[in-house]
Structure 1
Amino acid sequence: MPTRALVFDFDGTLADTESAVLQAWQEVFRAHGTELPLEAWYAVIGTQHTTPAMFALLAERAPGVDPDALRPVTKARVHELLETLGPRDGVESYLETARTQGIKLAVASSSSGAWVNPHLERLGIAGYFDAVLTGDLHRAKPDPDLYLAALDALRTPANETLAFEDTPHGVTAAKAAGLTCVAVPNAITERLDFRQADVVLPSFTAKPLEALLSR
């Protein structure tokens, strides 16, 4: 069966934004005299629950914290850390190969469109995608809704579509929608369990898209 479409998660997959977000939260926790346990981060990574979960945990560890006061500070620090961030190594090669071969492309992200779309533009890769599906309009992962919406937008069947993810929550969503899923963990997620994925690559540079499609 030929591959007619590729659907990419955004955070941590197309660009390693998760490292910047984690660093910003770690700095917030340390500024309040405590540490952010990585287990708590891993429990929510790839979902829509990161920010509320982090504020709830911080409130437990540092009573009296004002989330409304910290929110703009944390957001500004994240954007500062992301200013020089580019796509993950090998991503642009995958996108260019897909475009050359006439393969449709989409993004399926639990993050909001207000987060994803400006970053796609800043990274210089927005023009590759036929559709961008985001968590402000669809149920977040691990629910399959984002992937089902991507299939509908691209008008391709699940068995002719590959998903690319960097978290187990994302893999769960893709598999629940019936897609073959390639996990490409980043430095933050590489220690997590990706047994549910059909293929696990250490990076996009580890195998060219052409070789992946010929499997």
Structure 2
Amino acid sequence: MALHGMIFDVDGTLVDTNQAHVEAWRRAFKRLGYEVPRERIELEIGKGGDLLVPSILGDDAEKRHGDALRKAQKEAFLEIASRERFRVFPWVPELFHALRQRGIRTALATSSDRKHLQATCDSAGIDLPSLADVLVTKADVEASKPEPDVVIVAWEKLKLGPAECAMVGDTVYDAQACRAAGVVFLGVTSGGTPEDVLLEAGACGVWRDTGHLYSDLDHAIETAPSCTEEPVR
């Protein structure tokens, strides 16, 4: 079946924000009395906060401090976003325009809420929602990645089936969500996850970043729907 929809993760895929999220979580944990190494937090980036906290601290800490930690992380991230200028990865507007020219509808699918997303856009100087046909945020789903909800809602909003869509993301949690939703996963290493890890997680192909994907777009579009054991390079 031909590809008619492309779903995009935001953090680490379109905008270079993963380390800002790591730092925001580090500050949040410290505020509540937990010393968590950055390296441990990095392993969980890509998950929603509802799953990240118990994964790192356990269920007891989640019950005691989960909501407070997520609130503190949000405040810390907004502060970081207000002070820093996030980098947009190469050729993002051009990539969305090229997809539209080819008749492929696009969606943003993020585990963040709208306030986080707006802060990211303001810091990066780009209006991401205006580039895409539909937007899916934390408010639209019951469970965050790696659960498939955000991907399922995206293809539903696009009024397409899962076999007609692919998703571009930067973490194994994107890959897991895609696999559970029945959507082809296209990986980018711009978020810090190595190519071999993304391929092992089920990526149909892996590119360095959005600029690399843009330069190889027709090949990716042609190959993704019939993703075989040979990954797209």
Q: TM-score range by the shorter chain?
A: 0.7 to 0.9
- CA displacement at 1:90 relative to structure 2: 2.7
Q: Which residue of 2 aligns with 1:15?
A: 15
**What is the distance in 1 between the residues matched to 2:129 and 2:167?**
18
TM-score (norm 1): 0.79
8 Å Cα contact 2:22-2:45 kept in structure 1: no
**Residue 160 to residue 26, structure 1, CA distance change in 2 (3 Å):** same
Deviation at 1:200, TM superposition (A): 1.2
For structure 1, which segment, 162-171 or 191-200, has the greater mean C-alpha deviation from structure 2 after superposition?
A: 191-200
The equivalent of 1:63 in structure 2 is none
Mapping of residues 77-92 of structure 1, within 5 Å = 77-81=79-83, 83-92=84-93
- Over 3 Å counting, the alpha-carbon distance change for 1:38 and 1:129 in structure 2 is same
Q: How does 1:189-204 map to 2 (within 5 A)?
A: 189-190=193-194, 193-194=197-198, 195=200, 196-204=202-210
CA distance 1:141–1:73, change in 2 (3 Å): closer
Residue in structure 1 matched with residue 219 of structure 2 by the alignment:
211
Identity rate, percent: 21
1:4 and 1:160 in contact (8 A); partners too: yes
Gaps of 5+ in 2: 62-67, 224-233
The answer for the alignment partner of 2:128 in structure 1 is 125
Q: 2:154 aligns with which of 150, 154, 165?
A: 150
Over 3 Å counting, the alpha-carbon distance change for 1:3 and 1:69 in structure 2 is closer
Secondary structure at 2:13 match in 1 = coil
Q: 1:8 to 1:26 in 2, by over 3 A?
A: same
Q: How does 1:101-116 map to 2 (within 5 A)?
A: 101-116=102-117
Q: Deviations over 1:121-170 (max 9, x none)?
A: 64133212111111233121111111111111101111111100111011
Distance in 2 between residues matched to 1:200 and 1:108, nearest whole Å: 19
Matches within 5 A, 1:16-165: 16-25=16-25, 36-42=37-43, 44-49=44-49, 52=53, 74-81=76-83, 83-117=84-118, 119-120=120-121, 122-138=125-141, 139-165=143-169
User: Which segments of 5 or more consecutive residues in structure 1 lack a partner in the other structure?
Assistant: 61-65
Question: What is the distance in 1 between the residues matched to 2:184 and 2:116?
Answer: 26
Cα 1:116–1:161, aligned 2, differ >3 Å: closer, same or farther?
same
| Matched residues, number | 206
Alignment RMSD, CA only? Answer: 3.2
**Structure having the larger proportion of residues in helix:** 2
